[in-house]
Structure 1
Amino acid sequence: MNNKWKRKLGIYLSLGIFLSGCNVAESPNNLIKAPQLEDGQKWKLYETLKQLVPPGMEYVTPKGAVVKQSIFMDDVDNDGKLEAFVVYKQPKENGNLHLLVLKENKESWLQVALLETEYQILDYFNMHNLDNEGGMEIVIGLGTSDFEPERQLFIYQYGQDGLGLRVNRAYHLLDFADYDEDQKTDVLLVEGKRRESFTAGLFHYKEGKLVRQSSVDLDAYAFHEHMTSGTLRDGQKALFIDSKIGVHAMITEIVAYDQGNLVSVDMNQDIKEYLLYSQDINKDGITEVGGMYVPKGWEDAPFEDIPFIEFYSSHSISGKAEKVTERYTDREHGFYIEIPVEWQCKVTPKKVKNGIQLLSIPGEVPIFEIRWTNKDSSEVAKYVLKKSQDTIFYSNRDEYQTFPFKQFHLLEDDF
């Protein structure tokens, strides 16, 4: 390796370690939003942050963000120069979040603003052109604790004088998407107080204010656990809200836009017995909602012993559901068995020593078997299906023609 490449590698590793706040280097591409910087720009930014950010600070990434990054970059004022927004906190003191704003200036970066907040949780951070006029708005969602569901939304306008606060309001959940298909980004906020009322509202951003366009009521007793911004089967943008009800049960609510109004999709669903989050389970661009049922023969078993069969369904704006997949999932051992269409609702699990069998209904004939053993075991396996880090998954039964071994998956393959 020549000196030129050694120097480049040193810059990348140093920048990754410094910005990630971890002991292991993380790629700068995971910390700096596009457009990407040249090596010299990265080095200048790194040097500037070393001078401006006090020692011992911890760089912060938004909760639940798909891309883990602490630095957000874009030309927010359309002047041909990049702005950088850096979020960090001092964990050994009060843990309050700081927002540092820098601007590219020829070969250097200049500090434009430094905001110290009274919040400790970074729920959301992004830049959006909410009104399709001029530059972009800086959107920040902050909270005081992981145990406090209410957050605070701040929308800033960036200009010659730095950051100007335009919106400051409470929320529980938020999403940014073009729900009404008018080529502008809409703001969807879930607001309210548990046991009183929750409302999902669709807003347009106009002249520095959020203007409500439509709203719909949600379950007032739900603990909002997880949300996914996705798409219904018939193409509409939608917000999927998975919430706890009681000790361990869960419901899913879907909010979408239909014929000029925000609507709550009629799910006509049973309460789920445990948390099963909505997701695009088959990677087709449509978000599916999870469900489950008690297989035959387990109706009177204690709850903790029931081997639930899980399924995922896509929904249309009318609420009509279409099952996409059905599976038996064993999270303790890290695998799932995808049930072929012809066998859906026609199998029941039977627990055996270090394994599980799926029996046909009716008849209770074994049509699929999976067993597991330690990798160091001397046990002879007829068919080895998969190997994880510590476990061999195998079957000693012949492959059933309509229920092939390929239906077995490790959870790490899918998630």
Structure 2
Amino acid sequence: MRWIKGAAALAAVCLLAGCGAAPAGVEDLLRAPQLDGQQNEVEKALIAYLGETPQMKYPTTGEHLSPFVFDDWNGDGVTDAAALYVSSAKGQNVHLAVLESVDGAWAVTQEREGLATSVESIETASLRGAEGSQLLVGYAAASGEKYLAVYSYQDQTLNEVFHQSYSQYELRDISGTGGNDLVIIGPETDSGLQLQMLTAQDGQFIPVMPPLAVGNQFTSCEGLYTSKGDDGSDYLILDGQTGSANSLASMILYYDARQQQLVTYHPITVDDLFTATQRYSSLLKSQDIDDDSTVEIPVQLDGAGMENLAVNRLSFVAWMDYTTEYEQVKSFGVADLEYGYYLELPSEWQGQIMLTDGDEPDSWQVRSADGEALHLTVRVVEPNTQGAGYFQLGNLGAQRVQARLGTSDWYLQSGDLLRGFRLL
């Protein structure tokens, strides 16, 4: 069995890919970190340029969660800066400023108005045929609409070379040509979702295929992920709502070089992937559960072994890799869908255990299928709760998730559980 490599951090909640706007208050939380020296100098230069202190706009998702970005925008070999902010003198929309280092001091050389009032994501890319790096900014409006813009900076001029409305996008070499491809899921329409693929050419994104209708099975996109398949090929995993706010299913796509377009992947192990992957919690989004570059799809297992639970907040979950015929189950465990965490268990326990309520509030137990042997107890408690043989698995905001090994002779170690705990 492969145990998960490393416990999840609380920040992972903000990094999950998805198509909805961030909840209110996220930006305030993201302002907490102190600026480093370089960021502080850029902010001072921006204040001097504007004549006021702007509100820096922090991205709400993605790997880059700072309003400051440093890269060589014009290809001259010198690091430049970009900053995203709102100025009271310039209206409600986000503005983007580019700064260069002049005689050892930062100075604003260009700025332009963005496409909405907040920033969802920031990403940099080197597009084929372009000098320097380009900046991709995902903007989000209060109405829920989102817009992706690609900026290029040359000769002290900031140009918007591409923009489009979207619900989710991925920037990767999907086609295997060595350049960046941009896959965009458009906003929801009456006919369902549409997917578009573009490739970088001469510093711009050029469509390589007609828009692909995902169909009306999905009412909205909840996540788009690139995944390395068992055969070494790149795949796209799409999570979408299926009608109700809590119901998700998935589809898999790949680039067919012969047809030169994205096509739907049909696993040989299931007849209907949509039905096989339908689950009933918005928390169960696809992710790389074991850090092997393959994105696994969570599947809720049937209710066997959960008949004795008074509260139906727990679910057995198997994380599946449908791009392989072998070892499709990458991880097996229990998801707490009220508190939003997953705990991996030994794979050989699947079908051999039952879940019961614990003796304390917000606690549950893993027992043998006949209920006689106690393997594990898990509880959610206040931070000052200690003792009774429990050890900490992780944090849930101001609360703690703790576990205690049972008295059975089934082999299990606390270190395995610590590595197998992550937030959903």
Using the size of structure 2 for normalisation, the TM-score is 0.76
| Residues 132 and 184, structure 1, Cα contact 8 Å, conserved in 2 | no
1:307 aligns with 2:314: yes
State the partner residue of 1:345. 351
Distance 2:81 2:133 in 1: 13
- How far is the alpha carbon of 1:116 from its aligned partner? 2.1
Matched letter for residue 176 of structure 1? L
CA spacing shift, 1:22–1:339, aligned 2, 3 Å: closer
1:153 pairs with 127, 148, 152, which one? 148
Q: Secondary structure at the match of 1:193?
A: coil
State the partner residue of 1:252. 250
State the partner residue of 1:408. 417
| Residues 265 and 319, structure 1, Cα contact 8 Å, conserved in 2 | no
Distance 2:182 2:120 in 1: 15
Q: Secondary structure at the match of 1:45?
A: helix
Matched letter for residue 359 of structure 1? R
| Residues 21 and 58, structure 1, Cα contact 8 Å, conserved in 2 | no
CA spacing shift, 1:56–1:202, aligned 2, 3 Å: same
- How far is the alpha carbon of 1:376 from its aligned partner? 6.3
The C-alpha deviation readout for 1:231-263, integer Å capped at 9, x for no partner, is: 233323333332223131111233332334312
State the partner residue of 2:221. 224
1:271 aligns with 2:266: no
| Residues 336 and 410, structure 1, Cα contact 8 Å, conserved in 2 | no
1:293 aligns with 2:301: yes
- How far is the alpha carbon of 1:70 from its aligned partner? 1.0
With 291-300 and 225-234 compared, the bigger mean Cα shift is at: 291-300
Distance 1:347 1:195 in 2: 45
State the partner residue of 1:31. none
- How far is the alpha carbon of 1:226 from its aligned partner? 3.0
| Residues 393 and 418, structure 2, Cα contact 8 Å, conserved in 1 | no
| Residues 177 and 237, structure 1, Cα contact 8 Å, conserved in 2 | no
| Residues 334 and 411, structure 1, Cα contact 8 Å, conserved in 2 | no
| Residues 226 and 277, structure 1, Cα contact 8 Å, conserved in 2 | yes
Distance 1:23 1:172 in 2: 25
Distance 1:365 1:179 in 2: 51
Q: Secondary structure at the match of 1:408?
A: helix
| Residues 249 and 278, structure 2, Cα contact 8 Å, conserved in 1 | yes
Alignment of 1:121-132 (within 5 A): 121-132=118-129
With 266-275 and 70-79 compared, the bigger mean Cα shift is at: 266-275
RMSD of aligned residue pairs (Cα, Å): 3.5
Matched letter for residue 245 of structure 2? V
Alignment of 1:97-116 (within 5 A): 97-116=94-113
1:384 pairs with 374, 381, 390, which one? 390
Matched letter for residue 360 of structure 1? S
CA spacing shift, 1:205–1:135, aligned 2, 3 Å: same
How many pairs are equivalent?
Answer: 378
1:370 aligns with 2:371: no
Distance 1:132 1:185 in 2: 11
Matched letter for residue 326 of structure 1? F
Distance 1:135 1:392 in 2: 47
1:80 aligns with 2:77: yes
- How far is the alpha carbon of 1:192 from its aligned partner? 4.9
Q: Secondary structure at the match of 2:207?
A: strand
CA spacing shift, 1:330–1:410, aligned 2, 3 Å: farther
Q: Give the percent of matched residue pairs that are identical in Structure 1 and Structure 2.
A: 16
Matched letter for residue 258 of structure 1? D
